[in-house]
Amino acid sequence: MPLTPLYTSVEKTIELKIGSVVFESHAGFPVDKSNIYLVSSEGEILWEAEKPAQNVLFTKMRLNDDGTISTFTNGGQFCDLDSETGKIISESSFR
């Protein structure tokens, strides 16, 4: 099933058993929303990734060997997300 972006363009997807994790381009994406989210095979949004701060968006995403999702933000943070819930399980800053 082709994924339709919510606001910008789909930069990357990660296929999981429970659905597809979608990473949309941060350029032009509303800052009050999360540009990483999980979509079920029926097209329902199951979660939006928790952000480390309200005024940031994600700029990179990758799936780790342990099933977590590593992310970077335009605010200088990196986070590992639980792929089942989208919640932050660890975070740090590189600035």
List the domain range (segments joined by +) for residue 70.
10-93
Among 17, 16, 12, 28, smallest CA distance to 61 is for 12
CATH number for 52: 2.40.10.480
**Mean pLDDT across the stretch 39-46?**
96
pLDDT of 49-82, one tens digit each?
999 999 999 999 999 999 999 999 999 999 999 9
* Residue 55, domain member (yes or no): yes
Residue 5 forms part of a structural domain: no
Confidence of residue 2 (pLDDT cuts 50, 70, 90): confident
The number of folded domains in the chain is 1
For residue 1, tell me if it sits in a domain. no
Does residue 3 belong to any structural domain of this protein? no
Give, as one character, the DSSP assignment of residue 51.
P
> What pTM does this model have?
0.94
Report the sign of the C-alpha dihedral through residues 9, 65, 56, 88, in that order: positive
- Give the H/E segment covering residue 58: strand 58-63
At 38, the pLDDT band (50, 70, 90 cuts) reads: very high
The partner residues of 45 in beta bridges, in order of sequence, read: 39
